Structure 1
Amino acid sequence: MDPLDLYDATAHERVVEEPPKRVDAPVRTPFERDRARVVHAAASRRLAAKTQVVGPQTDDFTRNRLTHSLEVAQVARDLSRALGSLPDIAETAALAHDLGHPPFGHNGERVLADLSDACGGFEGNAQTLRILSRLESKTFDADGRSVGLNLTRATLDACTKYPWPRGGGPDPLKFGVYEDDQAVFGWLRAGAAMDVGGVRQCIEAQIMDLADDVAYSVHDVEDGTVAGRIDLTAMDLPAVWATVRDWYLPDARDDELDDVLAGLRTQGSWPTTPYDESRRSLAALKNLTSDLIGRFCGAAQHATFAAGSGPFVRYEGTLVVPERTLLEMAVLKGIAAHYVMQAEDRLVAMARERELMIELVAILVQRAPEELERPFVDDWDDAGDDAARLRVVIDQVASLTDASAVTWHTRLRRRRP
């Protein structure tokens, strides 16, 4: 059966109904059109200049948010195809999953979260929904309000990594919708199945979520190795395990993590000699990356089929990720966190980034709307209170790249009122 046939009319709906394309245009499914809209969005282009782990101008090898998103999309597409769902939906969700990230990655996200409490907080995934359904210009409703890219319900739902409002889910720091975006959230979740906790991702969002975990657990280690920060043949394991507990697995024991790493080392491509920058060494590292991605996705695929026969679309079926696989990914993420994110030079840079973001928001709050870009000036004019106006400033700052945030900060500090 064609996977497209498993998605009903409700999954195909858009907030604003759209007429068919010209008869001479290429024939595309609604979900292929969704993918094209995300690829061509301005927010997607900005990802090329946004931090993944370290700044995008660090070197020519290190990943940025755009290259990371492309790699997540490839993993999601392959896993979706293997499970029998529609690859276009999971791929589009993967391409869109980081659109809401502000300058300087998670470091910038934490700053904006602290500064935006009065208007409902900040969360990169909630910002992604806001971009897709409001801030990115494509379609307007009958009342003249932007509905963003006007994606189908199935695609927009798949982009919702945390399908609950602030404080409404299992993780108090993670959420997927702001209060003033509740209308479109209610629309996209129409017909959503609920688990005992009251929330549940559709299977395509689960695939995107796992693909993201797989990609950054493996690729951050690859980037750190090429940068000379990680040597997989000589690690200070007690210190690394302390980081794993601090960042990801607070109850993990050293002997348990030793066993997980020993299992990873049985992978035939795990290095036995340090990375030496040669082509042969880089090829070996690439083989390890490929093998680990296959290891993690294959484990999830087998576990999912063992738990149910499908079909694995929308709210039929659940992606099953073995506990051992989750532990293996956490170990890799902990290695990268210890040697890259906690490196002294990175901590110094992050402190400077936080200061810049705090000052930039403060200046714009004082000088808005004059210093805002035109779309955000219009939003400011439509805002009904101080909280709504603060949200406009947060939207403006979140839209900037790392480089443009620095440029704005320098320009505005020189232009004293």
Structure 2
Amino acid sequence: MNSFLAPYACQAGASRGRLYAEPESSTRTPFQRDRDRIIHSAAFRRLQYKTQVFVYHEGDNFRTRLTHSLEVSQIARSIARVLGLDEDLAESLALAHDLGHTPFGHAGEDALQEVLAGFGGFDHNAQSLRVVTKLERRYVEFDGLNLTWETLEGLVKHNGPLTGPLAVKPDKVLPGAITEYVARHDLELATFASAEAQVAALADDIAYNNHDIDDGLRAGLFTIRDLAEVPLVGPVFRAVAAEYPDAELSLHIHEVVRRMIGMMILDCIAETRRRIERHRPQSAAEVRAAPEPLVAFSDEMRANDRALKAFLFPNMYRHFTVNRMTSKGRRVVKDLFHLLHAEPECLPPEWRRLSDGPGTAKTARVVADYIAGMTDRFALDEHRRLFDMQEKP
């Protein structure tokens, strides 16, 4: 046991291991190897050109899935360090959490969910599991990255239990990718994930809320004045303006985002410590068996978080300029799916070999895997190649 970690942390030396047994590394823990495998994966590299909110060509300074994942990992490591958790596991989960996202952000996911309604649907968390257990092909002896049980568990359950009395969405049908995998490798879907996975999930919230404020202001989708009545955000902007009245607007924005991230991290740490004191977990197993998540915001910060999301939804995610681009993205994804599902002979050879003919359920999943792995740029180029008569195939 690592003496520097809390008793409720995941212990790398006590990992439940990998689906396919491998010799241990002499220089890295199992969770460090997971992190390194994720970083070196093709799916991770492709996040550079996948939409967070803005499509890749709309500006070099806006976040992508890659920069977002790096920011989440920094926040996750910071929180994990203070709480005595395994930083490498928290970082692995932060870096992997968006691997299953489609091109064009949630618009692409919505489009795939619609066209796959009769073929098992589409879920980006389930797709992340598919990526790391099946679609990444880097090793001779197995498909996927062969990550540890703890990383796979956290990837699937970071938002909470998927089955049982504590299920986050009890009425939701489990995606096929998850049910198929747990039939071989039980991820204990009825319990909470590790504290490290819970940290990664909250770090995701902290990162995208604050950085979407930054990107939204810089894109001109809303103004600081629009944020005046938003709890937490408005008061912090007023405090920064009073303290630095002559500073440039861009510096005001940076300072506000920096302070808000810090405030949310400190709130998370304080509330988590209160819950740890209440439940007194003595092992990672007791964290999983707890009746509530141990890593959380306070009631006040949860209310602030909801208010900020309520502002961002209409003012950013549904801003007409964003709507226009996401509408194009949905059409591109649907067009690609319908053509390739009906004509799998148009798939690249390595994908065509996986299909079993036009219009089938197997071909639908192959096409979905192909499209979900695309970057925004590649999806637009592929659409031109397939639909523009002037483009070379």
Query: How far is 1:19 from its partner?
Result: 2.3
* Structure 2: runs of 5+ lacking an equivalent: 288-293
Q: Does 1:2 align with 2:4?
A: yes
Report how many aligned residue pairs link the two structures. 374
Q: What secondary structure, in the 3-state scheme, does the structure 2 residue paired with 1:340 have?
A: helix
1:380 to 355, 360, 363: 355
- For 2:366 and 2:72, locate their aligned partners in 1 and report how far apart those are by CA, in whole Å: 30
Query: How far is 1:297 from its partner?
Result: 1.6
Q: What secondary structure, in the 3-state scheme, does the structure 1 residue paired with 2:139 have?
A: coil
Query: What is the correspondence of 1:63-74 to structure 2 with a 5 Å cutoff?
Result: 63-74=63-74
Distance 1:97 1:312, change over 3 A: farther
Distance 1:8 1:402, change over 3 A: closer
- For 1:105 and 1:80, locate their aligned partners in 2 and report how far apart those are by CA, in whole Å: 28
Q: What secondary structure, in the 3-state scheme, does the structure 2 residue paired with 1:337 have?
A: helix
Q: Contact 2:231/2:304 (CA < 8 Å) preserved in 1?
A: no
Q: What secondary structure, in the 3-state scheme, does the structure 1 residue paired with 2:37 have?
A: helix
2:162 to 144, 164, 172: 164
Mean CA deviation greater in 221-230 or 12-21: 12-21
Distance 1:8 1:316, change over 3 A: farther
Q: Does 1:316 align with 2:312?
A: no
Question: Residue by residue, what CA displacement relative to the aligned partner does 1:302-326 show, whole Å, maximum 9, x if unpaired?
Answer: 1111122456864433213212212
- For 1:7 and 1:287, locate their aligned partners in 2 and report how far apart those are by CA, in whole Å: 37
Other-structure match for 1:240: none
Other-structure match for 1:115: 115
Other-structure match for 1:226: 218
Q: Does 1:409 align with 2:377?
A: no
Question: Residue by residue, what CA displacement relative to the aligned partner does 1:355-409 show, whole Å, maximum 9, x if unpaired?
Answer: 22111101101221x322344234325x999212211111111111111111111
- For 1:286 and 1:312, locate their aligned partners in 2 and report how far apart those are by CA, in whole Å: 40
Mean CA deviation greater in 336-345 or 73-82: 336-345
- For 2:171 and 2:41, locate their aligned partners in 1 and report how far apart those are by CA, in whole Å: 28
1:17 to 14, 21, 46: 21
Q: Does 1:212 align with 2:210?
A: no
Q: Does 1:307 align with 2:275?
A: yes
Query: What is the correspondence of 1:18-417 to structure 2 with a 5 Å cutoff?
Result: 18-21=22-25, 27-139=27-139, 141=141, 146-160=142-156, 161=158, 164=162, 169-171=167-169, 178-186=175-183, 189-190=186-187, 192=188, 198-235=190-227, 261-267=230-236, 270-272=239-241, 280-309=248-277, 314-317=284-287, 318-368=294-344, 370-380=345-355, 386-414=360-388
RMSD value, Cα: 3.1
Distance 1:180 1:47, change over 3 A: closer
Q: Contact 1:233/1:271 (CA < 8 Å) preserved in 2?
A: no
Partner letter of residue 154 of structure 2?
A
- For 2:350 and 2:167, locate their aligned partners in 1 and report how far apart those are by CA, in whole Å: 32
Q: Contact 1:94/1:212 (CA < 8 Å) preserved in 2?
A: yes
Distance 1:219 1:6, change over 3 A: closer
Q: Contact 2:52/2:64 (CA < 8 Å) preserved in 1?
A: yes
- For 1:347 and 1:173, locate their aligned partners in 2 and report how far apart those are by CA, in whole Å: 29
Question: Residue by residue, what CA displacement relative to the aligned partner does 1:276-307 show, whole Å, maximum 9, x if unpaired?
Answer: 9x984323222211211111121111111112
- For 2:129 and 2:66, locate their aligned partners in 1 and report how far apart those are by CA, in whole Å: 17
Q: Contact 2:102/2:108 (CA < 8 Å) preserved in 1?
A: yes
- For 2:169 and 2:387, locate their aligned partners in 1 and report how far apart those are by CA, in whole Å: 37
- For 1:2 and 1:378, locate their aligned partners in 2 and report how far apart those are by CA, in whole Å: 50
Question: Residue by residue, what CA displacement relative to the aligned partner does 1:100-143 show, whole Å, maximum 9, x if unpaired?
Answer: 010100011001011112221101111000001110113355xx
Other-structure match for 1:246: none
Q: What secondary structure, in the 3-state scheme, does the structure 2 residue paired with 1:379 have?
A: coil
Distance 1:262 1:105, change over 3 A: closer
Q: What secondary structure, in the 3-state scheme, does the structure 2 residue paired with 1:209 have?
A: helix
Q: Contact 2:5/2:84 (CA < 8 Å) preserved in 1?
A: yes
Question: Residue by residue, what CA displacement relative to the aligned partner does 1:192-244 show, whole Å, maximum 9, x if unpaired?
Answer: 4x7xxx44233222111111111111100011111222212245x8xxxxxxx
* Structure 1: runs of 5+ lacking an equivalent: 238-257
Other-structure match for 2:290: none
Distance 1:79 1:302, change over 3 A: same
Partner letter of residue 95 of structure 1?
L
TM-score normalised by structure 1 residue count = 0.80
Distance 1:73 1:3, change over 3 A: same
Q: Contact 1:85/1:311 (CA < 8 Å) preserved in 2?
A: no
- For 1:332 and 1:376, locate their aligned partners in 2 and report how far apart those are by CA, in whole Å: 42
Partner letter of residue 169 of structure 2?
D
